[in-house]
Structure 1
Amino acid sequence: MHSGKNPKGGRVPIDKLHDRNAARVCNMIKTNGGIFLKIGQAIAVQGAALPEAYQREFKNMFDDASQESWSDVQAVIEEEFGASVSEVFGDGVEKEPRASASIAQVHYARLKDGREVAIKVQRRNLAQQASWDLWTFKVLCDLVGRTTDIHIQGIGDYIMENIMKETDFENEAANSMRIAELVKSDPDLNKRVYIPQVYTELTSKRVLTSEWIHGAKLWDRDIITGAHNPSGETPEGMGLKEADIMTTVIDLFSSQMFKWGFVHCDPHPGNMFVRRLPSGKPQIVLIDHGLYVSLSDNLRRQYARFWKSLLTGDQKGLEEVSTAWGMKTADAWADTFMSREKKSEPLDETPEEKSQRAISEASAFFGEEGLYPRELIFLERNLALVQGSNRFYDSPVNRLGMIGRSAMLNLRDDREVTFAQAMSSRWAMFVLDAVFYFSRWKQYMGWGKGFEDELKEAEERMAQEMKDSMSGLWEVDKEAE
């Protein structure tokens, strides 16, 4: 009624309509809970798929979900440990949760020995609800795969298998300890990143106990960047720089993708805390380690080469990687990662042809069944969440350039590089830096919002093209009726 070639007109202004519907959808997601909340979190950081009203409404999806009753919390602990809450944790457990999310809620406690801990208690009926939600998603993927040329039939199974791992807190504890060891072994990150200690003796399938973290959440911008006043006479900020914070965040996840091949796939702002070190620099504390993907050494190198080829314009490298992934061309992934506008559509294209082109482009994105690395689905989610945080801080760092340099650094031993190739890579990164700093200058002069917002505008134009395609298809269907 509000868009397309022949809008019929609505009874309310479009902005008011978006605000109202965003609130309705947010309410529905919170009421349903479970896996629906993960969809809400994705919406909160997306750049262009839905109007900005949805981002504003959904920002509290990260740790402000509906709460389980204290009786349900007690029941889960008793079922897991065969003892009451006070017998397991003592009398220092707060009944009101400090945070509540899609999988579980967190209660603060002080143990008898004085340790401050976070007790993460899974929602009592989560496993059953999550399995039904994911089964529905799997059926929809299979249906789309059978009725179109988009090869996603097996993707639902893969996503279901990995997200269900989040309901096993012993698996989360193992992930947490593994990433902690990787961070400690990295001299560049071991001071800038911290992984809270897990107390395995107080952890089970549905209850996880870890060290309590005092700090600000990643999007608590006023606290993080506010003036630092150790005297305590006024509310104390951390006095930290946005660029330092986002540099650490991007360095951490670049190392996971290109160096370790062990990737945290839910880095939303509720899962990262910020602390101020005595040096005056930030430390990122990463929590919630239920969802990881492991990359084979071959896939890790392919992914690094994909990024290097993408940023340096190495078409041959892009085609080699895309062929290995079962794709006819690398254009679909390149457009997505770089938010590049697609080639203009033919002027005489019919709505049916436009719709078929959209399906063909989606099919190119997923590639040939059996060759497409399904891990890429979660890697793309990781990148989207990190991009959302960089945009939140008004693009203080060149995210694409940092990711590209990390990819190149971890490919140094991959093959011999000629002097010409090395110089070409340096020149490409120099140009990308120049584009970024020009965007920063425009932002400083008040002529732009930042590099990530410019990418967002490109995403919006791409999204609008898809909406127009769907609108045209709708008009054809109406005419057929």
Structure 2
Amino acid sequence: MILTRLVQRIPRRTRWLTCGTVAGLYGGYVWDDHTEAKLVQRNLRTFYHGMALAVDYKWHGGQMETINALHERVANRIFDVFERNGGLYIKMGQVIAAQSAVLPAAYQRRARTLLDAAPAVPLASIERVFLEEYGALPNDVFAWFDPHPIASASIAQVHRARLKDTGEWVAVKIQKPAVQRQLGWDLYALRALLHMYEYLFELPLTFAADYIEMHIRKEVDFENEARNGQRAWDHLSQVSDLKDKVYIPKIYPEISTRRVLVCEWIDQAVQLTDREKITDMGLDYKEAMKISIEAFASQIFLSGFVHGDPHAGNVLVTRHPKRPNKVRVVLVDHGLYVEESERFRQQYCKLWQSLFMLDLNTMSDICAEWGIHDVDMFASITLQKPFVADKPVQQSATLKDIYEFQSGIKARLKHFLEDQAQFPRELIFLLRNMEIVRGNNKMVGSPVNRLNIMASWAVRGLDEHDHHHGLQGLWRRFVFRFTLCMMSISFWLIQLRQQTSKLLFGTTVHGFEDLVDDRMKEQMYLQYGIQIDENVFDA
């Protein structure tokens, strides 16, 4: 009764306006819920949770007693949004997940649940993409088209088909229809949140936004992916050590479009880290891992055109067509590539050489030019193993020490990237490449000395005029080779320990990458107060 009187006191025009607004919002929500893009829901979800976690950190970020619970809440909130929104949000989440080692343990645990997989869209949606791209249905474009996808990921799914003119089997990668409509809104939401957090927390977050956005836009352009694949093949086919060992499937640009990519079908291919299947095929999984690492090292240090997502699903192993008992490594998914400037490529080669020669002057000069002020930390990130030149190591770190570190991380990050304009944007995806490659090696027991391979290719990538001649040049080459030799001895001793333990006691001991991880976690805890979750480096 009272409520009725209160409503009657509201002017009729206001009541109608309010009812109309509520009805319009509800109608808009219902309409959006029935669309594939779900733009309204996804953006509202993003901004609501984005504001909520900012407020949560502002209100509770200064309380040491509740800091771990805060990290847990925020990590769950962020990755829940990534998973529910899907699409490009999965890609964004993977960028964070790849660098989660420097985040609190809650983020590290939650990041491991973010997979680059998504439910397949129905055939009707795929047919709509074909009608928009070709003006025809899949069965009109191909002699035969499998309606059931063989794989589905965040932005596309893959079907098997047969060409009309030649009868060749092909893999058809089809972009999900909502991706193009979501792209602009998703990138706008990401940029808006970065600006908001940079303002609220005074952290350097937006300096690489343009670079990341440019690469994300390129990744959803399958014509660009076709060009990337061809360019990568042109390089690998000219490297004498690799041209007969690494293969990129043939691309059919004449029947590919911006949203549909047609590639050669590869039979009997298994993922790089599926050790059992590779062994059952009578092939050497160690050789496969070595070839894959060399392929990516050649891109980083020789061509300067680098695959940005070399996870095991994008690195396949098959029999060599001419020598069936030999391995051939097949690289797929060429949407994300990083192009290094020639100056950066030369500097990066020199940086790796100087890391193995303990040439601190060269390391410091390069880091200074890149606007990096903590050489030891950057060297550790680059090698993905501890590097300490002359910094004293703390003997212990209490909970209070860790809290004070996390509270002061703002100042450390601002100092580390004080000169943002100088920071090479190539490093953003380059370090991701190396972290994924390291994870692949670790997953199968670290059978390959990754660091020595990378260092050898780095020196190979230096131009002739960069090599020193005379006694100085001989001494530098001796120091470099001696360092590699010592690392090789350490690596083989670890391998011997693994094999001996397995043969004599039937037990499995840590491999080279696991021991590097343990040492890295120890040093990050003792020197910087970062407590890394025990499984953060798991691939």
Regarding TM over 0.5, the answer is yes
Distance (Å, rounded) in 2 between the aligned partners of 1:442 and 1:145:
49
**Residues 373-388 of structure 1: pairs in structure 2 closer than 5 A:** 373-388=424-439
For 2:346, the equivalent position in structure 1 comes to 301
Does residue 257 in structure 1 map to residue 300 in structure 2?
yes
Structure 1 residue ranges without an equivalent (≥5): 11-16, 227-237, 472-481
For 2:159, the equivalent position in structure 1 comes to 107
1:464 Cα deviation from its structure 2 partner: 5.7
- Which string of whole-angstrom CA distances, capped at 9 and with x for unpartnered residues, describes residues 251-287 of structure 1? 1011101100101101111111110122522111111
Q: Confirm or deny: 8 A CA contact 2:237 2:243 kept in the other structure.
A: yes
Distance (Å, rounded) in 1 between the aligned partners of 2:499 and 2:64:
38
Q: Confirm or deny: 8 A CA contact 2:377 2:387 kept in the other structure.
A: no
C-alpha change, 1:414 and 1:452, in structure 2 (3 Å) is farther
* 1:389 counterpart letter in structure 2: N
SS in 1 for 2:445: coil
For 1:455, the equivalent position in structure 2 comes to 516
- Which string of whole-angstrom CA distances, capped at 9 and with x for unpartnered residues, describes residues 53-108 of structure 1? 768755xx34x421111111000111011222222223x10111001112200000
Considering fraction of residues, name the structure with more helix. 2
For 2:448, the equivalent position in structure 1 comes to 397
Distance (Å, rounded) in 2 between the aligned partners of 1:30 and 1:286:
27
Distance (Å, rounded) in 2 between the aligned partners of 1:431 and 1:140:
48
TM-score (ref. length: structure 2): 0.74
**Residues 20-169 of structure 1: pairs in structure 2 closer than 5 A:** 29-38=82-91, 61-62=115-116, 64-90=117-143, 92-112=144-164, 113-147=166-200, 150-169=203-222
For 1:372, the equivalent position in structure 2 comes to 423
TM-score (ref. length: structure 1): 0.82
Distance (Å, rounded) in 2 between the aligned partners of 1:195 and 1:470:
40
C-alpha change, 1:347 and 1:334, in structure 2 (3 Å) is same
1:40 Cα deviation from its structure 2 partner: 6.0
SS in 1 for 2:295: helix
C-alpha change, 1:9 and 1:337, in structure 2 (3 Å) is closer
Q: Confirm or deny: 8 A CA contact 1:47 1:456 kept in the other structure.
A: no
* 1:431 counterpart letter in structure 2: M
Does residue 189 in structure 1 map to residue 231 in structure 2?
no
Distance (Å, rounded) in 2 between the aligned partners of 1:319 and 1:86:
60
Q: Confirm or deny: 8 A CA contact 1:141 1:155 kept in the other structure.
A: no
* 2:464 counterpart letter in structure 1: D
- Which string of whole-angstrom CA distances, capped at 9 and with x for unpartnered residues, describes residues 138-174 of structure 1? 3343344445564332212211111111111111111
C-alpha change, 1:142 and 1:439, in structure 2 (3 Å) is farther
Q: Confirm or deny: 8 A CA contact 1:96 1:107 kept in the other structure.
A: yes
RMSD: 3.4
C-alpha change, 1:351 and 1:262, in structure 2 (3 Å) is closer
For 1:438, the equivalent position in structure 2 comes to 493
Distance (Å, rounded) in 2 between the aligned partners of 1:462 and 1:136:
37
C-alpha change, 1:37 and 1:265, in structure 2 (3 Å) is same
C-alpha change, 1:301 and 1:428, in structure 2 (3 Å) is same
Q: Confirm or deny: 8 A CA contact 2:373 2:417 kept in the other structure.
A: no
* 1:75 counterpart letter in structure 2: R
1:468 Cα deviation from its structure 2 partner: 6.3
For 1:311, the equivalent position in structure 2 comes to 356
Bigger CA radius of gyration:
2
Distance (Å, rounded) in 2 between the aligned partners of 1:313 and 1:305:
12
C-alpha change, 1:424 and 1:204, in structure 2 (3 Å) is same
Q: Confirm or deny: 8 A CA contact 1:183 1:189 kept in the other structure.
A: yes
2:279 to 216, 219, 225: 225
Distance (Å, rounded) in 1 between the aligned partners of 2:219 and 2:493:
42
C-alpha change, 1:200 and 1:131, in structure 2 (3 Å) is same
1:136 Cα deviation from its structure 2 partner: 3.2
- Residue identity (%): 33
* 2:233 counterpart letter in structure 1: A
Between stretches 187-196 and 430-439, larger displacement belongs to 430-439
Distance (Å, rounded) in 2 between the aligned partners of 1:380 and 1:103:
23
Q: Confirm or deny: 8 A CA contact 1:218 1:270 kept in the other structure.
A: yes
Between stretches 301-310 and 418-427, larger displacement belongs to 418-427
